[in-house]
């Protein structure tokens, strides 16, 4: 989870987010090199005393400053295209969860079981929160999912536009009324992963958080069975 002192991306919890982080670092390195080079050239132009009153054109330098940006763009475009195909890749899911955005909470439905489990997930008010809770992020019903399992999320909305987003998983899906959007992810470690609605949806837009609880398969099955027993 990101904290007030963290200016970097959140620690990844899925292979997809790892690739997004690598691409971010790769692109940032290229931008840093360009910034340093341009700053050096501008500084040298300001402080040198060389002049050329009759300089009209320079074919060599024009070829260089045309080819170098093109090569730079290729070094950014190729990893970017690879990542776009990875984002769209869908494997055979083992668990499917449908989530519906409301003003201002999320509802979830586990669709792969004979008796599907459904619940609403509301943010816990500050005056009802435990001492070790996270203000504006904890919910009364967490979305429990098994790690090392391909998960498919079906996302829609009941009223206005929302966006189901969990940064640690590299997932951001628009929740559109009347439309069912799909995404998939694979969690490679246990933990609690927090997200929030990322589409301005009204007065309480910032009060509809998302909490994914990643557990092992045995714990997930026990959690599902406990709902049926209840």
Residues facing 192 on adjacent strands: 213
Give this prediction's pTM. Answer: 0.80
Nearest to 94 by CA among 143, 145, 169, 19: 145
Residue among 98, 135, 126 at smallest CA distance from 209:
135
The pairing of beta strand 95-102 with beta strand 150-157? parallel
Cα–Cα distance measured from residue 108 to residue 154, given in angstroms and rounded to the nearest whole number = 10
Contact 202, 142 (CB under 8 A): no
Tokens standing for 101? 């955005």
Per-residue pLDDT 10s for the chain (230 aa) are: 666 777 788 888 898 899 999 999 999 999 999 999 999 989 988 888 877 777 777 788 889 889 999 999 999 999 999 888 888 777 788 889 999 999 999 999 998 877 778 889 999 988 888 877 788 888 988 999 999 999 999 999 998 999 999 999 989 999 999 999 998 899 999 989 999 999 998 898 989 999 999 999 999 888 888 765 55
């Amino acid at each position: 989870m990101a904290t007030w002192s963290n200016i970097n991306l959140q620690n990844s919890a899925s292979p997809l987010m790892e690739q997004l982080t690598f691409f971010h670092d790769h692109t940032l390195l290229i931008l840093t090199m360009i910034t340093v080079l341009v700053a050096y050239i501008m500084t040298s132009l300001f402080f040198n005393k060389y002049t050329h009153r009759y300089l009209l054109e320079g074919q060599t330098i024009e070829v260089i400053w045309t080819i170098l940006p093109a090569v730079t763009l290729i070094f950014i475009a190729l990893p970017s295209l690879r990542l776009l195909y990875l984002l769209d890749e869908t494997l055979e899911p083992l668990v499917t969860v449908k989530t519906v955005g409301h003003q201002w909470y999320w509802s979830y439905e586990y669709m792969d079981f004979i008796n599907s489990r459904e619940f609403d997930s509301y943010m816990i008010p500050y005056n009802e929160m435990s001492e070790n809770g996270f203000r504006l992020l904890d919910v009364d019903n967490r979305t429990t999912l098994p790690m090392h399992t391909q998960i498919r999320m079906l996302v829609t909305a009941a009223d206005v536009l929302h966006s189901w987003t969990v940064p640690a998983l590299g997932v951001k899906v628009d929740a559109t009324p009347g439309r069912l959007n799909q995404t998939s992810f694979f969690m490679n470690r246990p933990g609690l992963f927090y997200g929030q609605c990322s589409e301005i949806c009204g007065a309480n837009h910032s009060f509809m958080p998302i909490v994914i609880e990643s557990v092992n398969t045995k714990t997930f099955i026990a959690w599902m069975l406990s709902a049926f027993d209840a």
